[in-house]
Amino acid sequence: MAAQINPSILSADFARLADEAEAVRGADWLHVDVMDNHFVPNLTLGVPVVESLARATDTPLDCHLMIEAPDRWAPQYVEAGAGSVTFHVEAAAAPVRLAREIRAKGARASMALRPATPIEPYEDLLPELDMLLIMTVEPGFGGQAFLDIMLPKIRRTRELIRKHGLELWLQVDGGVSASTIEQCAEAGADVFVAGSAVYGASDPAEAVRALRTQAET
Question: Residues at the annotated binding site?
Answer: 8, 31, 33, 64, 140-143, 173-175, 195-196
142 lies in the site for ligand DX5, by CB under 6 A: yes
The residue annotated as part of the active site, out of 28, 62, 130, 173, is 173
- Per the CB < 8 A criterion, the answer to whether 87 and 65 are in contact is yes
Interaction with Zn ion in 14-33: which residues (CB under 5 A)? 33
Q: Does 173 bind ligand DX5 (CB under 6 A)?
A: yes
What DSSP string describes 117-134? --SGGGGGGGGG-SEEEE
In the list 102, 154, 176, 201, the residue contacting ligand DX5 (rule: CB under 6 A) is 176
For residues 161 and 132, give the distance between their C-alpha atoms in angstroms, rounded to a whole number.
10
The residue at minimum Cβ distance from ligand DX5 is 195
Angle 47-56/70-79 helices, nearest 10 degrees? 30
Choose, by CB under 6 A, the member of 33, 128, 130, 190 that binds ligand DX5: 33
In 3D space, the residue among 153, 150, 123 whose CA is nearest the CA of residue 136 turns out to be 150
Between 159 and 180, name the residue whose CB sits nearer to Zn ion. Answer: 180
Report the DSSP beta bridge partners of residue 62: 31, 84
175 belongs to the binding site for ligand DX5 (CB under 6 A): yes
Pairing mode, strands 131-135 and 108-113: parallel
Cα(212)–Cα(27) distance, rounded to whole angstroms? 9
Contact with ligand DX5 (CB under 6 A): which of 45, 132, 193, 207?
Answer: 193
Residue type (1 letter), 57:
T
- Under the binding rule (CB under 6 A), the answer on residue 70 touching ligand DX5 is no
Query: Stretches 70-78, 86-94, 118-126, 139-147: which one binds ligand DX5 (CB under 6 A)?
Result: 139-147
The gap from C-alpha 65 to its chain's centroid, in whole angstroms, comes to 9
Q: Positive or negative CA dihedral for 96, 97, 99, 103?
A: positive
Q: Which of 33, 36, 130, 190 is flagged as catalytic?
A: 33
Residues of the shown chain interacting with ligand DX5 in the complex, contacts defined by CB under 6 A: 8, 10-11, 31, 33, 64, 137, 139-144, 173-176, 193-197
Residues of the shown chain interacting with Zn ion in the complex, contacts defined by CB under 5 A: 33, 64, 173
